[in-house]
Structure formats: structure tokens, C-alpha cells
Structure 1
């Protein structure tokens, strides 16, 4: 199983890719903490962070289209969470702040994941003595993403092989059903992994 859905460009050569993993990781944390903690009305600061991230993308030779597509895939979840704030007093302002901050955090993570190989990141976290339990959890989460992608691709192939013609309404109904099935299968697979780990002495 080999996927490059997340970190397709983490192995290319560029000045940014050659920077130490520790420096990139600290920069990631600094940017995310800054985005999350500063007041939501500092729009010039957010614009400066956006320009900085796009400059990094340009220097590192990562296609803007790739970054945009990955961001677009995750943006509906951000909007779904942020839209709940509209019903509060001053809801539109809160909605915009949540949307801007969440989008910038996602963009930061997407860019970082394509600047650093995951194995290099794990080695760095091990060097700074991150607890082994957390390291194992991070590694399992990363690998589990690709298992979910495989599962989703198999389900899509099965759907296409059984469907010759379909209208838009039927298509979206089937997509909703597939998402529900994927969640159920993910939960069941997670339970099996949990029981297997408990059987091997994990607690």
C-alpha cells in the first residue's frame, strides 16, 4: 500500500526541504499557536501569515493546485463547525474569525506535511524524548489514514461496478450511504486494532 494523498511532495529537493526537521517543526508550532491565540480582528497579521505560507510553497516547488485541492477537501468540515457560531450574538464576526483561523491552521499543516517526511518527523520526536505511547499513537494515526483511503477507494469501485446510470439525487444519496458505511467500518477496524493491542500488552 503506497499513497501520497497527504505528503506527495515531501521527497522533492528544495532549499526549504533541506532545512532541519526541528526548525520546521518549531516553526509549525509557532505559527499555529500564533494563529490560535492572537485576537481574531488582526487581519493584517493573518494576511502576512498567508503570504509567508504561499512564499514557502513557491520556494519549495510544491504546486499551488495541490495545496488548494487538499485545502478544499477539508474546508467543508471547517465551515460546518464555524457556521454554528452564526446563531450567537455578533455571529457573523465570530464565524469569519473561526473560518480564517481554521483555514490558516489547515494550510500550515498541509504545507508542513509536504516539506518533511513523516519518518524524519518521527525520528525527531524520538530524539526530543517524546513519550513512546504518543509516538505509537501518531504513527498509527498516520498509517490508519491510508487504510481509510484504501477502504473508500474499494467502496467507490464497488459502487461504480454496480451502477450503470444514475441521476444527481441518487448519486448524493449513495455517497451519503458510503460515508456512513465508511464510518462504521472505521469504528469496527479501530475496535479490532484496540483488542489486538490489548492482547499484546498495551494499556
Structure 2
């Protein structure tokens, strides 16, 4: 099982890695609040934020290819949510704004998670009195995301070992089946975890 999908480079050495966890988390949260609060068509501010992020990427010494691949993997979810705005008045502008804001937010979170070990972030959240339930949910999400990724990789290998055709129709059909099966497995796993937690006194 790989444990580096989110924070592969979080333990490297760089000027950004060496900054205090509290400074990085507060800066990231502040930037996210600004992004969320920005009205649509704030093109100049969007550009300025992007320009500010570039030197952070350079100083962090994170591979550009890694960041781009992670963004590409996450963008479909952004597009899936944003596409609904196209049906509103002025939908195109809203759609573009949401995509830009979401991409900037994702990039900030990728930078934070790959320059700060996740357990340090959780420790800081506890110190600043974030509700314990929220911290626990984040910890569980972090832990079981890797389990889910590992499960999907096993299913992918099994599918490839049984596939003897490269037709696009067959590939898409197999992927849909795999996603459905993964959803069922993750739901069953979540129920087992919930039952185990209840048995240990969680409510």
C-alpha cells in the first residue's frame, strides 16, 4: 500500500518546508477565505493570486509534473460541480470563475499537504481548539483514503489481467463496473468501521 498519494513530498527540505506549521496553515486558510469571498469576474485578483503562488511552488521545490498530475486528477470533480452554473443567467462567467477559484484552492491545499506532514496539521488543529469530532473525521479520511486507493489499484490490476481486448467500449464498461464495485466496497467498509467504533463506545 502506498502512503504518499496526498503528501508524497511533505518531509522534504526546502524554505517552505522549514516554515512553521502554524504559519503555513494560517496562511493557507486565509488565502482560501479570500478566494471564496471573491466575487465573480475578479480576474485581476485571480491573476495576482496565481502570481503569488508561483514563487511558493519554486521555493517548495515540488515537482511541477506532480502538481499538474494531481490537479488533472481532481479537476473532473471541479468541473462536475461547476457545470451546473452554466444553466444560470451569466452562467459562462460564473462557470469560469468557479473553475479558477477551485483550481487555486486545490493548488493551495496541494502545496500545504506536500510541505507539511498531515499529522502536524492535525496536531495544530487540536491546539487551536478545532472541534475534536472534525479533527477525528479528517484523520479517518486521511487514513482510509489510502485504503480506498489501494483497493482501486488491486481492482485495476485484476481487471487488466482478465482483459484481452483494447476496445474503448469494453474499457469504459469495465471502468464503470469497477467504480460501482468500489463504491459498494467502500460503503461496506464504512459500515464495518462505524460498527467497530460504536462497539468501542463512540457515539
TM over 0.5: yes
Q: What is the CA-CA distance between 1:181 and the residue it aligns to?
A: 1.0
> Is the CA contact 1:14–1:61 (under 8 Å) kept in the aligned structure 2?
yes
CA distance in 2, matches of 1:35, 1:75: 17
- Gaps spanning 5+ residues in structure 1: where? none
* Higher relative contact order structure (alpha carbons within 8 Å, sequence separation ≥ 6): 2
Alignment of 1:111 with 2:114, yes or no, is: no
TM-score (norm 2): 0.96
Alignment of 1:86-165 (within 5 A): 86-165=86-165
The answer for the alignment partner of 1:193 in structure 2 is 193
Secondary structure (helix, strand or coil) at the match of 1:58 reads helix
Aligned residues: 203
Q: Which residue of 2 is the match for residue 5 of structure 1?
A: 5
- In structure 2, list runs of 5 or more residues that go unmatched: none
What's the TM-score once normalised by structure 1's chain length?
0.96
Question: How far did residue 128 of structure 1 move?
Answer: 2.1
Moved more, 46-55 or 141-150: 46-55
Q: Structure 1, residues 11-58: CA drift from partner, whole Å, max 9, x if none?
A: 110011010100000001001000000112111111111121121111
Q: After TM superposition, give the deviation of residue 135 of structure 1 in Å.
A: 2.0
Deviation digits for residues 108-143 of structure 1, max 9, x if unmatched? 111111010011112212222333322221111100
3-state SS of paired residue (2:76): helix
Displacement, 1:83?
1.0
CA deviation string 1:32-91 (max 9, x = no partner)? 000000112111111111121121111110011100000000101111111111111111
Corresponding residue SS for 1:142: helix
CA displacement 1:140-168 (0-9 Å, x = unmatched) = 11001100001001101111111122311
